[in-house]
């Protein structure tokens, strides 16, 4: 299970460098271009998950995997809210929503969430000694 967790961690780190959001005039943005603080938080959570993987602590890896999933969900909501706020100067709400709709999510999110879910759900089962002592 350690290898599955490690591969999930690699997917999260690689996914942070892949295109996550496409802005029509500007181009593709990765996690660092979206927000520096969120990217640093992602990498800190990934580093803490490495600590859990190295020490065979499934609880630590699962905890930081859940934190990564929550961070990614927060980032998705923040991107949508920021795109609506960016076009707030437009007089009609339908115009704002139409222009905010041109900001598209890219395929990098699939790797981000897949890696975090692999970290959470790759659970090693401990062998229980079935012998009874009398």
The band of 105, judged by pLDDT with boundaries at 50, 70 and 90, is: confident
> What are the DSSP calls for 17-77, one per residue?
TS--EEETTTEEE-HHHH-HHHHHHHHHHHHHHHHHHHTT-HHHHHHHHHHHHHHHHHHHH
Tell me the β-bridge partners of 28: 22
Q: How confident is the model at residue 133 (pLDDT cuts 50, 70, 90)?
A: low
Model pTM score? 0.82
* pLDDT tens digits, one per residue of 17-71: 998 888 777 788 888 888 899 999 999 999 999 999 999 888 999 999 999 999 9
In the block, which residue shows the tokens 């009874």?
A: 132
**Is 22 in a helix, a strand, or coil?**
strand
Between residues 85 and 55, which one has the greater pLDDT? 55
CA distance 34 to 118: 24
């Amino acid at each position: 299970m350690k290898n599955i967790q490690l591969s999930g961690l690699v997917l999260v780190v690689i996914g942070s460098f892949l295109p996550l959001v496409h802005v029509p005039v500007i181009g593709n943005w990765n996690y660092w271009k979206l927000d520096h603080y969120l990217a640093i938080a992602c990498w800190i959570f990934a580093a803490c998950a490495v600590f859990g993987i190295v020490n065979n602590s499934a609880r630590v890896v699962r905890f930081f995997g859940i934190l990564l999933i929550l961070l990614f969900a927060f980032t998705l909501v923040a991107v949508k809210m920021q795109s609506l706020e960016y076009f707030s100067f437009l007089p009609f709400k339908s115009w704002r929503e139409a222009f905010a709709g041109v900001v598209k999510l890219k395929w990098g999110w699939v790797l981000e969430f897949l890696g975090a879910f692999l970290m959470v759900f790759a659970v090693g089962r401990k062998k229980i000694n079935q012998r009874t002592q009398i």
